[in-house]
Amino acid sequence: MQAHAIHTQSFVWNGWLSQGEATSFRPNMFQVHGENGFSVDYGTRRDDGGGTSWVCFCTIFAGEAISTYTGAHLSTGGVWTNNSDRARKTQVEPVDTQAILDKVARLPLSTWQYTAEDATVRHIGPMAQDFHAAFSVGANETSIATIDADGVALLRSRACISSYKRRMRGLPNCGARWPACTMNWRR
């Protein structure tokens, strides 16, 4: 079990027991190799030696490539999953659907590029400052938590379904004229 930093300003730690030597593959890199991954632990020390707060780049949790003490994780399929456990929430309050819909209707949306990304990459959505001003959610005015954007989008989708169902109830012989209106919305 050997580790060799063969590039300038590189660091290699090798925890691969069965795969032999680990070498650096680029200059100015910090590399950690381990059969089961690695964990960064902090906070108070637990009885098992880990920290009460941690991020694990490991195979310990099935289906998770990056696991965190918060319950959020990146799946081995590349999907970021937010923790949304009811037990981890407090001060749960219903939303005023119409007030949210009014704010969504007024929320400026744009296409844009991040200054740090390649010029060919474009995105669409609101600016964090506008989102925060409209909904007063999230940790700060310069970022949008995906769970907050998802919540607004789900509310808007629910409103569209309700509106569609109301319109279809008012159409005589709906099934013959527009088959889509006979869909079972409870699926």
| Model confidence pLDDT, tens digit, residues 6-34 | 999 999 888 876 667 888 889 999 988 88
> What is the pLDDT, as a whole number, of residue 127?
97
Instruction: Give the count of beta carbons closer than 10 Å to the beta carbon of residue 76.
Output: 13
> Using one digit for the tens of pLDDT, what is the confidence trace for 96-133?
999 999 999 999 999 999 999 999 999 999 999 999 99
Band (182; pLDDT cuts 50, 70, 90): very low
| Residue 101 burial class via C-beta count within 10 angstroms: exposed 0-12, middle 13-18, buried 19 and up | middle
> What is the pLDDT, as a whole number, of residue 154?
93
> What is the pLDDT, as a whole number, of residue 186?
44
> Using one digit for the tens of pLDDT, what is the confidence trace for 73-106?
999 999 999 999 999 999 999 999 999 999 999 9
Give the length of the chain: 187
Q: Which of 56, 51, 49, 90 is nearest to 71 (CA)?
A: 56
DSSP assignment of 111-158, as one string? EE--TTS-TT--EEE--HHHHHHHH--SS-SS---HHHHHHHHHHHHH
pLDDT at residue 156 tops 80: yes
> What is the pLDDT, as a whole number, of residue 173?
56
Three-state DSSP class for 103? helix
Distance CA 143, CA 41 (A): 26
Distance CA 163, CA 97 (A): 13
Band (172; pLDDT cuts 50, 70, 90): low
